[in-house]
Chains A and B, each alone.
Chain A
Amino acid sequence: MTEAELRAPDERALREHLTSPRFQQGVDDGRWRLISLDWPHALISVSAAIRDGAPKEFVLRFDLSGYPQVGPTAGLWDSSSGSYLGSAGRPKGDRASMVFRGDWEQGRALYAPWDRVALTGHPDWAQRHPSHSWNSTRDLAFYLANVFEVLNSDDYLGV
C-alpha cells in the first residue's frame, strides 16, 4: 500500500481538500496559507486587514481529528512561544473580540458556529446560525473564509 492509502479517512479527506480549487484560491489570493501539517494538527495563517500595531496575519492551530464529519477546532497560536496567543495579542472589534475571545475555553477554540468546540457547547447555534455552522458537507476553506471575513471587515480594529 502507498503512504496515502495508509492514511486514515479523516487525514485523506483533509489532504484532498487542501489541493481543492476552493483552498488553493485562498492561498493564491493571499487570504490564508498552510504553514505545517502534523496530523491531526495544522498551523494555518489567515491574513488580516492593515491596522496600526497589528500583525498582517494570525496563525491558527487546528485540531482536525475526524474531519469532515467532526468539525475542525482552532485557537490563535503564538509561533514564537509555541503556545496559544495571550489576550493582549488577540484581534479586537465588534465581532472579532467575540470570535477570538481569550476568556473562553482558555482561548483554544474560536467562539463561532464553524468551530467544533463552540458548536458543541451551543447546540442551538446550528439552528440559529445555519449559514455559519459546520456540517459534514463543509470544508476547511469554509472555516478559513469565515475567519478571513471577520479579520478583514471594517469592524475589525486591530489588537
Chain B
Amino acid sequence: MQVYVHTAGKEDPELVEVPPTALVRELVVVDANGEELVWLEEVDQPLDVQLTLEAAGIRHRGHVHRGRCRKVTVSVRFNADSKAHAFSPANTVDRVLRWATGEHGFDLPPAEAAKHTLAVPGADHPLDPRVHIGSLVTPGSCDVKVDLLPKVRFEG
C-alpha cells in the first residue's frame, strides 16, 4: 500500500510504499533526539507505533503526519492583531483557517471569511488547505507564524 507521509519542513507529503502489515514504527525516524510520533490526519492523539498500519486505521493513500511536536502553537496575524492557538501537528491549514476566521479567532462574517486565506510571511504562495500545520514548523521549534490575507482578484 501507499501512504502520504507529511513531516516538518516540507509542505508536500512523500508517497511511501509500505506493506499493510508493517508497523507504524516503520514510518518514523529514530535518532539522537529519540523516536518521532505518528498521527492520522486531523487526529489529536498520536498512534501506538506498535500497531500495524492496518490496525491503526491507515488506509491505502491515506495521510499521516510524523514529527516530534505533540502540539504546534500557531500565531495568526491579521491587520495589526495576532491570535494564537495550539493544534495537533496533523491538523490541516483548512482547519486552522476555519479557527482563525471563526468566533474563537478574528470572528469574521462568513462572507468575509470566504475571502481570506493563510500564508507564511514572505512565502511566494498562499498555503494549500491540505498542508499539515506541523509541516510548517522549523527545526527545533513547535511554533508557526502565518498571516491571514485577503484573496486576490486579478484585474487590469
- B13 to chain A: closest residue by CB: A21
**Is B130 located at the chain interface by the 8 A CB criterion?**
yes
Contact with A along B98-128 (1 / 0, CB 8 A): 0000000000001100110001000111101
| Contact in complex: A99, B151 (CB < 8 Å) | no
Number of B interface residues in the complex (CB < 8 A): 23
Interface 9-mer from A3-11, A50-58, A63-71, A122-130? A122-130
Contacts of A125 in B (CB 8 A): 154
Contacts of A122 in B (CB 8 A): 156
| Contact in complex: A111, B154 (CB < 8 Å) | yes
**Is B85 located at the chain interface by the 8 A CB criterion?**
no
**Is B152 located at the chain interface by the 8 A CB criterion?**
yes
Contact with B along A102-131 (1 / 0, CB 8 A): 000000000111000010001001000111
Interface SS, A side: loop
Number of A interface residues in the complex (CB < 8 A): 27
| Known interface pairs A154-B111, A155-B114; A21-B15 also in contact (CB < 8 Å) | yes
Contacts of B154 in A (CB 8 A): 95, 98-99, 111-113, 118, 125, 129, 132
| Known interface pairs A21-B4, A142-B125, A153-B114; A29-B130 also in contact (CB < 8 Å) | yes
**Is B48 located at the chain interface by the 8 A CB criterion?**
no
In angstroms, Cα B117 to Cα A132, docked, is 13
| Contact in complex: B153, A154 (CB < 8 Å) | no
| Known interface pairs A21-B4, A131-B119, A131-B124; A153-B15 also in contact (CB < 8 Å) | no
Picked from B4, B115, B151, B156, the residue with its CB within 8 Å of the CB of A25 is B4
Contacts of A16 in B (CB 8 A): none
| Contact in complex: B13, A129 (CB < 8 Å) | no
Contacts of A111 in B (CB 8 A): 154
**Is A12 located at the chain interface by the 8 A CB criterion?**
no
Separation in Å of the B117 CB from the closest CB of chain A? Answer: 8
| Contact in complex: A131, B155 (CB < 8 Å) | no
Separation in Å of the B129 CB from the closest CB of chain A? Answer: 8
Contacts of B114 in A (CB 8 A): 153-155
- B111 to chain A: closest residue by CB: A154
| Contact in complex: A25, B130 (CB < 8 Å) | yes
Separation in Å of the B33 CB from the closest CB of chain A? Answer: 25
Contacts of B128 in A (CB 8 A): 145
In angstroms, Cα B153 to Cα A129, docked, is 10
In angstroms, Cα B150 to Cα A155, docked, is 13
User: Could you list some 22 contacts between A and B, CB below 8 A?
Assistant: A20-B12, A21-B4, A22-B12, A28-B61, A29-B130, A94-B153, A98-B153, A98-B154, A98-B155, A122-B156, A129-B152, A129-B154, A131-B125, A132-B125, A132-B152, A132-B154, A142-B125, A149-B151, A153-B114, A153-B151, A154-B111, A154-B114
Contacts of A24 in B (CB 8 A): 15, 61
**Is B14 located at the chain interface by the 8 A CB criterion?**
yes
In angstroms, Cα B152 to Cα A155, docked, is 12
Picked from B14, B111, B126, B155, the residue with its CB within 8 Å of the CB of A21 is B14
